[in-house]
Amino acid sequence: MSGRPKVKEYMTREVQTVSPTDTVADVARRIKESEGHNGFPVSDGRKVEGFVTASDLLLVDDEDPIFTVMTEDIIVAHPEMDVIDAARVILRSGIQKLPVVDDADNLVGIISNTDVVRSQIERATPEKVGKLMRTLEQIHDVSLHEESRVVELDNLTPTQARVYADELEGRQYELERGLAEPLVVIDNSGEFLLADGHHRVMAAFQLGIEEMDATVIVLDERVDLGMQRTAEKEGLSSIEDIEIADYGRHPLIEATQRLQE
């Protein structure tokens, strides 16, 4: 059995969708009011009928139903698909998000380019840091190198909007005993993107810690990174912008609770 990470481990399970009968105006309003969404899967119940993006809504009538403007020939992923294979599809197709469907074609999640990057660097082993460096080199044709540094938390831009309160206690325990792994940070011409370690950073912030050890990937020239654009769209400019979600709001816990009701 493959030991490589699977889509089901990194996909978002709580998926916002729109209906085929929603109007263009309805969906345009949702895109405008949402955080970081430029499109939605179109579903009838749990079945995916298509995908609609902001560009699909241009130059069409506000009252047109979404099924008349959505893309029907969509690319999807399967929960058991290797993340690296989903990455190839995302990179080659230019699609930023793939709906994830099970064997019955039911929508069970969505995986984005940001999820793919995170899958390569969560548990920041030297091998995974190296893989991220090679990925950045290949995608952006940029020279880079790795450094060990102490970074100031106030200078970090997060790339993850939410952490979970139940995990912060464990991270605080590690920090107090000097057991925490270094963060993974990308130095993009003086802009410091936190690529891995959001729970560690928030735990440190709560403890009043101002600096942490980090493995820093230094880009030799500025690059337009997708994870940086996503952070900007989600309004993430400092670690104080990260939301701390209560344990009971964790999407996996919510799903379990619904099954038990």
List the domains of the chain with CATH numbers.
7-116 (3.10.580.10), 122-249 (3.90.1530.10)
Contacts of residue 199, Cβ cutoff 8 Å, sequence gap at least 6 = 163, 164, 167, 168, 171
- Cα–chain center distance at 193: 14
Q: What is the pTM of this model?
A: 0.51
Note the pLDDT tens digit of each residue in 211-250. 999 999 999 999 999 889 889 988 999 999 999 887 444 4
Tallying the residues shown for the chain, one arrives at: 261
In sequence order, the 6+-apart residues with CB closer than 8 A to the CB of 178 are: none
- 4 touches 82 (CB < 8 A): yes
pLDDT at residue 250, as a whole number: 46
**Is residue 179's pLDDT more than 70?**
no
pLDDT digits (tens, 9 = 90+) for 37-67: 789 999 998 899 999 999 999 999 999 999 9
- Written as six digits, the tokens of 84 are 């690296």
Nearest C-alpha neighbor of 212 from the set 167, 160, 172, 165 = 172
Mean per-residue pLDDT of the chain: 86
DSSP state, residue 189:
T
| CB neighbour burial string for 49-79, b if at least 16 within 10 angstroms, e if fewer | bbbbbeebbeeeeeeebbbebbeeebebbbb
